[in-house]
Chain A
């Protein structure tokens, strides 16, 4: 249980963070060039700072909450996040510099801009933009779940009514997120970002060093996890079904693991917010170098994932967790560990780190959505739109998108929050043919690409529903010929097949 000191330090740092956010929005009007100079002082510092800042973006609610929760409830399968982080930056290294170059030469701001120019189709660009907006929704929902997890653990000290706790936590998280994006936007977040990154690194480092030391290793955690599972299986509840110490050596599951990381690898740098981040780099070479070093950050991710299992060896954390139902228990594992193993005031700081770790990425995603909406969907219809109108539309749109994202929170049992990110992945992967293949060739037919995107999206969503028997989402793997395959890969295969087959006449003619 977190005491009064924890609340005080959480609130003080939160106020400091919001103050910097608002102050940043005003300060920016004065002189942005100063910030630029500071951030890019000297080339060496440029690459290093870019690495530091982009690296902090790796730590979102996905890392702090969703992956540990998946490990806590399902086991080794969700360690797929590690190979995913290792290879996704390789994909970034080979795709983003080219996109960066073209953006500089031709003034692209979004991937949809590139698609429009490349395939001479506003309609295809609009489809890519809509897909990007929709794909961000469940990802934002995941960030809301992460913020909820932090507040949930904190509120548990005040009332023990768990239903009430999680409702309040969700409502407050949602209001803070909506207010934050509405008032400050990306410009305001610039100053807050530095504090956010410092808070996040304090959280990551203290969690991955202090907690394992306190419990003296993992062997006991593995044993405790096993007995927890056995106790549940006596009640006919499946728990940690994908293996505790390693992936159950079923070829079916190994296929699931492999397709999960390969698919996620290609998905990340199709997301509008990742592309925005890459395009703001100071140079092609700096971009490639910082991408090259980013897998290092995955070490923190790997250790946080393992903390999801280490929670089992911490009696205090487990007694806190046992207050929540199994369907949402997992998301509280890291916040509970922070509360049980750190001094109160410091736990407050770490919890705030996890909290802004959800808040800031969600705001960045919302801004990427608004960008796409005004630039690639509204502008083609109303080219003469005024800048003030544009700002007003994007502000209100981001509030509406927030509400839709909130809807996604309810279709996934919180413990399986990682399914939200995987759902976003299935959707965004469908833009791979026009965006990534578009970087290599313009020989594909625009209508074939549209047909591919739509059939990929439709089949992906349908298969997710079938795999979950049209109920709450707790898996995104589909049984196919004795193998479990991530649906994102299946849908992408359908998409690619359609796009390429219907492009054949155009390819052959040339």
Chain B
């Protein structure tokens, strides 16, 4: 029983780590977004794509924070 809980904890930590790393991969892969097209509201891809990733990053981090601090009060 306790062993299962421990295993589960490790699994959650690994999963959270992956979530935390995803935005890094997105931004490090600069050749995928260093271009003008397609534009959005006249703003070039380079700018709006990186701005959109701010929102995605927050969502991923929030899930990770939830997984890491699951059950903790403080």
Contacts and interface: CB of A to CB of B under 8 A. Distances in A.
A387 to B, nearest CB: 30
A309 to B, nearest CB: 9
A452 B64 CA distance: 34
Given A82-B51, A295-B61, A246 B36 contact: yes
Contacts of B31: 254
- Interface centre among A82, A83, A288, A306, by most chain B C-beta atoms within 10 angstroms, is A83
B23 A79 contact: no
7 contacts: A86-B54, A90-B23, A247-B30, A254-B30, A295-B58, A299-B51, A306-B47
Given A87-B27, A258-B28, A284 B42 contact: no
Contacts of B27: 83, 86-87, 258, 261
A190 B44 CA distance: 41
A325 interface: no
Interface string B3-28: 00000000000000000100110011
Interface SS of chain B: helix, strand, loop or mixed? helix
Given A86-B27, A306-B43, A292 B72 contact: no
Contacts of B53: 83, 86
Nearest to B35: A246
Interface residues of A, number: 41
B57 A295 contact: yes
Contacts of A218: 41-44
A294 B68 CA distance: 18
Interface in B33-53: 34-36, 39, 41-47, 50-51, 53
A245 B33 CA distance: 12
Contacts of A185: none
A397 B45 CA distance: 48
A283 interface: yes
Interface residues of B, number: 35
Given A257-B30, A292-B64, A85 B44 contact: no
B61 A291 contact: yes
A291 B58 CA distance: 9
Contacts of A261: 27
A293 B54 contact: no
Interface of A: 76, 79, 82-83, 85-87, 89-90, 93-94, 217-219, 222, 245-247, 249, 254, 257-258, 261, 282-286, 288-289, 291-296, 298-299, 302-303, 306
Contacts of A306: 43, 47
B74 interface: yes
Contacts of A79: 46-47, 50
Contacts of B41: 217-218
A284 B74 contact: yes
Contacts of B28: 258
Contacts of A289: 62, 65-66, 69
Nearest to A101: B74
B58 A85 contact: no
Given A79-B47, A82-B50, 9 more contacts: A85-B54, A86-B54, A246-B47, A261-B27, A282-B74, A292-B61, A292-B64, A295-B57, A299-B51
B55 interface: yes
B69 A295 contact: no
Contact of B72 (A89, A94, A285): A285
Contact of A284 (B20, B61, B69): B69
B62 A292 contact: yes
Given A286-B74, A288-B65, A295 B46 contact: no
A292 B20 CA distance: 10
A125 B42 CA distance: 51
Give 10 nearest A-B pairs by CB, closest first: A246-B46, A283-B74, A292-B61, A217-B42, A83-B27, A218-B42, A219-B42, A245-B44, A302-B51, A285-B69
Contacts of B66: 289
A241 to B, nearest CB: 16
A76 B35 CA distance: 11
A406 to B, nearest CB: 34
A217 B66 CA distance: 38
A285 B68 CA distance: 9
A248 to B, nearest CB: 9
A440 B46 CA distance: 36
